[in-house]
Amino acid sequence: MKKSVITFVLTLVLAHSYGQDTLKSNLTQTPEKKHLNELGLDMTPFIKFYLNFSDNNTFYYQPNYMLTYRRYFKKSNFRSAIGGNYSYSETPSPYNGDSLKIKYYNKQSSFVLRVGYEFFQDLSKRWQVYYGADLTTSYSHQRNDALYWNGGYANGIESTTSGFGLAPVLGVRFKMSKRINLITESSFLLQYSTSSSYRFYLPMTGAFPPKANDPKTTNKTIGTTFNYPLSLILTLNI
């Protein structure tokens, strides 16, 4: 009997002590941190790679913007994204008697950037729709030393393209958790571009004299591009 009473009293004391500690913890608990910045990564190439059960590469996907950033505000967000590409290849001379020991290179690089603003509307606890517009800029450069060989010369080309534009955007966000989201969006880009290129000729052997480059040509265009919502961007609030 005494043991039962002692056990009951100890239980009450421990319960009271736990309740006091819990109350103090709740009173002194710091407010939940607000994560107002968001970083995103285009996951489409990875998803396609692991879910591609066939060898059909007809629907090859090359992301324009690989990294995204947002700054959250009450009813709107600042948004930006960046992307780029670089490739390099080397081809030996096909001429066996090449006394110049020439190697031909093909180099390509590109860079894209967008900055904009968006407004959003929650459809439910998990789903959100957003709309806005971006200012875009892009630059690309290519130098291919040997498109083909003809008459003792490697026929090469060098070209550059730059542009800027405006793109209205419409997207959907799925909130996987408080900090992790999946996003897809579409946009309609109106862009002004300037491109220039010229052809040049590299002697295949020392038997051929240097040959002058062709005159540079420059083109200016205005065009539109509709980007379908084919990408899946995984984002993290930080």
- 206-209: list long-range contacts, CB under 8 Å, 24+ apart: 206/99, 206/100, 207/99, 207/152, 208/152, 208/153
Beta bridge pairs of residue 191: 165, 223
User: What is the DSSP track for 37-62?
Assistant: EEEEEE-HHHHHHHH--SS--TT---
When pLDDT is averaged across residues 121-140 and rounded to a whole number, the result is 97
Question: How remote is the C-alpha of 105 from its chain's centroid?
Answer: 27
What digits encode the pLDDT tens for the residues 143-184?
999 999 888 899 999 999 999 999 999 999 999 999 999 999
198 and 217 in contact (C-beta within 8 Å)? Answer: yes
Cα gap 26→18, rounded to integer Å: 12
- How confident is the prediction for the chain on average, in pLDDT? 85
pLDDT recorded at residue 31:
67
Q: Looking at the predicted structure, is the pLDDT value of residue 223 above 60?
A: yes
pLDDT recorded at residue 22:
43
Assigned fold of 36-237: Porin (2.40.160)
pLDDT recorded at residue 24:
42
The domain locations on the chain are 1-30, 36-237
Cα gap 8→56, rounded to integer Å: 73
When pLDDT is averaged across residues 13-27 and rounded to a whole number, the result is 41
Pairing assessment for the beta strands 67-72 and 76-92 based on DSSP bridges: antiparallel
192 and 165 in contact (C-beta within 8 Å)? Answer: yes
Please report, in angstroms and rounded to a whole number, the separation of the first and last CA atoms in the chain. 58
Name the CA radius of gyration of the chain, rounded. 30
Cα gap 108→115, rounded to integer Å: 24
When pLDDT is averaged across residues 63-67 and rounded to a whole number, the result is 87
pLDDT recorded at residue 9:
38
Q: Looking at the predicted structure, is the pLDDT value of residue 77 above 60?
A: yes
Beta bridge pairs of residue 225: 189
Please give the model's pTM, rounded to 2 decimal places.
Answer: 0.78
pLDDT recorded at residue 64:
84
Confidence of residue 69 (pLDDT cuts 50, 70, 90): very high
Q: Looking at the predicted structure, is the pLDDT value of residue 7 above 70?
A: no
197 and 156 in contact (C-beta within 8 Å)? Answer: no
